[in-house]
Amino acid sequence: MSKHDVEMELAQLNIAKARGEMDEPLMKEFVDNLESVNAMAESSEGFIWRLKDESGDATAIQAFDDPLLLVNMSVWQSPDALKGFMYMTHHISFMKRKKEWFEKLTQANYVLWWVPKGHIPDVEEGKLRLEHLREHGESPYAFSFKSRFEPSDLVITKIA
């Protein structure tokens, strides 16, 4: 199978360590804006999917032992679509204020990777990609915006 036979989409996982529980006053403004920021993502050009629970966001999804470690995942048509949402919408004003709500992490806090069109990654897949990036650095398997690997950089093999 040629790598060009499969259309690919961009998956992303990012984590953040909250400075407090979601119901604490410190986190109120962040929590109060989740719904509008998530709606903005969903209406952005190139958006495909995002991780959420019954409440409509992912803040209650405990992917790590530390309950203050929040996880966010989404799938986009391209890196440019994801960057467009991140930097060209009201989302940027919240990114600029992240120090108010989140602690600085010492290791990579996000990872990008290519998935076949229509594939919805689960949290475990995202955690594996983040751990791979942390341990091995940038590669077509797990990367950041610093090393924009393209789907054509992947080696896809057909399993008989």
Say if strands 8-18 and 47-50 run parallel, antiparallel, or are unpaired. unpaired
Is 59 inside a domain boundary? yes
Is 114 inside a domain boundary? yes
Tens digit of each residue's pLDDT (9 = 90 or more) over 4-52: 457 999 999 999 999 999 999 999 999 999 999 999 999 999 999 999 9
Is 92 inside a domain boundary? yes
Domain coverage including residue 77: 3-153
**How crowded is the C-beta side of 39, counted as CA atoms within 13 Å?**
5
Instruction: Tally Cβ neighbours within 10 Å of residue 32.
Output: 9
Domain count, the chain: 1
Tens digit of each residue's pLDDT (9 = 90 or more) over 108-156: 999 999 999 999 999 999 999 999 999 999 999 999 999 989 998 887 5
The domain that holds 100 is classified in CATH as 3.30.70.100
Find out whether 126 and 10 touch, Cβ atoms under 8 Å: no
Tens digit of each residue's pLDDT (9 = 90 or more) over 65-124: 999 999 999 999 999 999 999 988 888 888 899 999 999 999 999 999 999 999 999 999
pLDDT for 39 equals 93
Is 45 inside a domain boundary? yes
pTM of the model: 0.90
Residues 6+ apart with CB under 8 A from 149: 114, 138, 139, 140, 143
Find out whether 59 and 68 touch, Cβ atoms under 8 Å: no
